[in-house]
Amino acid sequence: MSDVVVLGTDTDAGKTTFALLWLTAFADRFAYWKPVETGPSDTDLVRRLVPAATVHEPALRLAEPVAPALAARREGRVVPIATVIAGLRPLDPKALLIESFGGPLSPLNETELQVALVRRLASPAILVTNSQVGAVGRALASLRVLAMEGVSVWAVVLIGPPDDYAAEKIERHGSVPVINFRPPNAWDATSLVSAVEAQRPALESCLSILVPSETSPAEVDSLVERDRRHVWHPYTPLRDTAGPIPVVGAADEFLDLGDGRRLIDGISSWWTILHGHRHPELMSALRRASERIDHVLFAGITHPFAVELADELLRTAPWNGGRVFFSDNGSTAVEVALKMAYQYWCHRGEPHRRLFVGFDGGYHGDTFGAMAVGRDPIFFGRFEPLLFRAERIPISPERLDDLLTRTREVAAVIIEPLVQGAGGMRMHSPATLSDLHAVARRHGVLFIADEVMTCARTGSFWAHTRAGIAPDLICAAKTLAGGVLSLAATLAAPEVVAAFDTDDRARTFFHGHSFTAHPLACAVAVANQRLIRTGNWIWHTDRIRRAWQEAAESLRVFPWITDVRVCGTILALDVEAPGGYLADVGRRMFEASLERGVLLRPLGNVLYALPPLRTSDESLGRIAEAMRAAVLAAGR
């Protein structure tokens, strides 16, 4: 259950009245915290009138009933910055009802307004105002300001005599539900209980807005049972005996299961979640953007989020200029790169260049073009008769040189730089990558870096940067919007773009998907780029890499482990077992790690971890332990 921040349109709006009603009704689920209070203590009042409630001490209490910054100055004290106050949020097994002071724009300290603290608290907010004349204007003005400041309000509470007119106007113009509460007849515990009993349905409906309903055990059972009847899962046999794991929530490095268990997500979902689940800044960017826009087509239309994201991405590119072509998943980012590469040669008068070169162990997605260059016999053998011709060679600059010397038909080489993910987390050195690129350059062949898995995972934003190379096309997807939403981008170098830069409409790149450059995904991706620019993701990467190097030592001791390797935040090992990807050992390792509360999803006989960047040291230790347990299970 999430904490709730109570804001008022102004001083005396009715915040404490609402807090008293709420805690009287839900003391078993919510505790009270007023981080900063001035003048007569609301904390003491709540403690006195709701004896059943857990009431936490404020982070800062000041005597004079004026703005905290002023009250502190008069007492010769200083109000800490919002980040510090938010960091003092008490630990409580219950959710917190966090009461603010004054209005959202009341000064907090010498440099910040209270809204900075509200943003830091990153919890659903409700806005309280009294229902006297002027409620509509007060509520709407506050809602607009809060939206501009990136705080989204989940409900407006009117305190006082019911006012349907005001409620209807606020709902219409503020796009937010409005609930009316009468204050108690007197300020004592008995009157509060009567006021709550008389208004329980309204309180319950407010609770259901703020707190997503929890899934009961019976609902979880029925979920799995209905899933088995109606849903077809990716990469899963229809007669899968294990059945799906019901996940009902996610936060940081954890997944909450329907039966109340918490798993550590050791694989960042499908290698997507970058920082951690529901990172507050990404969630806040999503909420803010959703108050302005939903979806709009991207042909002949643009929006600020896509333009800003394209600017940001091009700043990370190894060339000046170039363009970003958006799509919506890793496979489509690859399809776009392949089609662009071929069309580039058509425009250059070399349409015979229609051969692509991929590498053993390479994987580039599940659509037809991506399958043709990935060509994994287990995943795609069935479709072999339908795939276009592509060469597949070992990762060897000499072999690439041989091939490119023999044929002038090659359009492009495609590789996952430094780590081949789905093919078994196989790693190669920056020097090898650099040599492969040099060979492609020498033969005048385009070079595609499929960074769908590697983006922000290997220690530099792009893995190819570590080889000091400049690919002609770069594909990104999974982590682009921090893993929150589906978004992909294919970055094209200036030379590729130049071949399309003509008035001839027949030379248009005819490709696009309905949800290309989805505004909400782009908004989250812009926030994600900002987080990346702050640079502490590199610190986290180093922290995880060091933990993995230590863990690798303790895993090498098992004789049935043939290789243990680390690159950035990825730790992988091979278990000697017949059967490769379809080996039963994969299932045994999956189950053993699950028993230790860690989600790992071996690629056959390859066990690996690839956790979100902000995974705590303790959780990294638990992942390493689960890997040891899995390896032991594999050796049985």
Binding site for ligand PMP (CB under 6 A): 329-331, 334, 363-365, 416, 421-422, 450, 452-453, 477
| Smallest separation (angstroms) from ligand PMP to the CB of 599 | 16
| Smallest separation (angstroms) from ligand PMP to the CB of 325 | 15
DSSP state of 79: P
Among residues 119 and 364, whose Cβ is nearest to ligand PMP?
Answer: 364
> Which DSSP helix (H) or strand (E) runs through 458?
none
Chain length of the chain: 636
| Smallest separation (angstroms) from ligand PMP to the CB of 429 | 18
Question: How many CB atoms are located within 10 Å of the residue 233 CB?
Answer: 11
**Are 271 and 508 within 8 A, CB to CB?**
no
Per-residue burial over 29-43, b = 16 or more CB atoms within 10 Å of its CB, e = otherwise: ebbbbbbbbbeeebb
Give the residue numbers marked as catalytic. Answer: 235, 363, 450, 478
| Smallest separation (angstroms) from ligand PMP to the CB of 271 | 6
Q: Which residues, including other chains, have CB under 8 Å from residue 1's CB and lie 6 or more apart? A: 29, 94, 95, 211, 214
Among residues 329 and 529, whose Cβ is nearest to ligand PMP?
Answer: 329
**Are 290 and 522 within 8 A, CB to CB?**
no
**Are 487 and 451 within 8 A, CB to CB?**
no
Cα distance between residue 500 and residue 347, in whole Å: 7
| Smallest separation (angstroms) from ligand PMP to the CB of 406 | 27
Among residues 446 and 477, whose Cβ is nearest to ligand PMP?
Answer: 477
396 φ, ψ (degrees, to nearest 5): -150, 120
**Are 589 and 622 within 8 A, CB to CB?**
no
The amino acid at residue 468 is G
Among residues 453 and 474, whose Cβ is nearest to ligand PMP?
Answer: 453
**Are 105 and 67 within 8 A, CB to CB?**
no
| Smallest separation (angstroms) from ligand PMP to the CB of 488 | 7
**Are 451 and 476 within 8 A, CB to CB?**
yes
Among residues 532 and 570, whose Cβ is nearest to ligand PMP?
Answer: 570
| Smallest separation (angstroms) from ligand PMP to the CB of 327 | 10
Cα distance between residue 560 and residue 539, in whole Å: 33
3-state DSSP assignment of residue 90: coil
Nearest C-alpha neighbor of 630 from the set 599, 579, 591: 591
| Smallest separation (angstroms) from ligand PMP to the CB of 454 | 7
Q: Which residues, including other chains, have CB under 8 Å from residue 523's CB and lie 6 or more apart? A: 285, 286, 288, 289, 305
| Smallest separation (angstroms) from ligand PMP to the CB of 333 | 7
Among residues 146 and 274, whose Cβ is nearest to ligand PMP?
Answer: 274
CA angle 510, 512, 518 (to 5 degrees): 155
In the chain, the largest separation of any two C-alpha atoms, in whole Å, equals 92
Among residues 365 and 602, whose Cβ is nearest to ligand PMP?
Answer: 365
| Smallest separation (angstroms) from ligand PMP to the CB of 524 | 16
Among residues 181 and 271, whose Cβ is nearest to ligand PMP?
Answer: 271
**Closest residue to ligand PMP in the complex (CB):** 330
| Smallest separation (angstroms) from ligand PMP to the CB of 569 | 15
Among residues 104 and 483, whose Cβ is nearest to ligand PMP?
Answer: 483
The 3-state secondary structure of 354-393 reads CEEEEECCCCCCCCHHHHHHHCCHHHHHHHHHHCCCEEEE
Instruction: Beginning with the edge strand found earlier in the chain, give each strand of the sheet holding 323-327 in spatial order.
Output: 323-327, 488-492, 473-476, 446-450, 410-415, 355-359, 390-393
Instruction: Beginning with the edge strand found earlier in the chain, give each strand of the sheet holding 561-567 in spatial order.
Output: 561-567, 570-575, 606-609
Among residues 13 and 469, whose Cβ is nearest to ligand PMP?
Answer: 469
> Which DSSP helix (H) or strand (E) runs through 78?
none
Nearest C-alpha neighbor of 489 from the set 547, 458, 460, 528: 528
- Extract the tokens encoding 184: 């108690």
Q: For the residues of 285-300, what is the DSSP string, one character each?
A: HHHHHHTT------SS
Among residues 102 and 365, whose Cβ is nearest to ligand PMP?
Answer: 365
Nearest C-alpha neighbor of 52 from the set 25, 70, 18: 25
Among residues 167 and 452, whose Cβ is nearest to ligand PMP?
Answer: 452
| Smallest separation (angstroms) from ligand PMP to the CB of 452 | 3
Cα distance between residue 413 and residue 93, in whole Å: 54
- Extract the tokens encoding 56: 């936490």
- For the chain, how far is it from start to end, CA to CA, in angstroms? 41
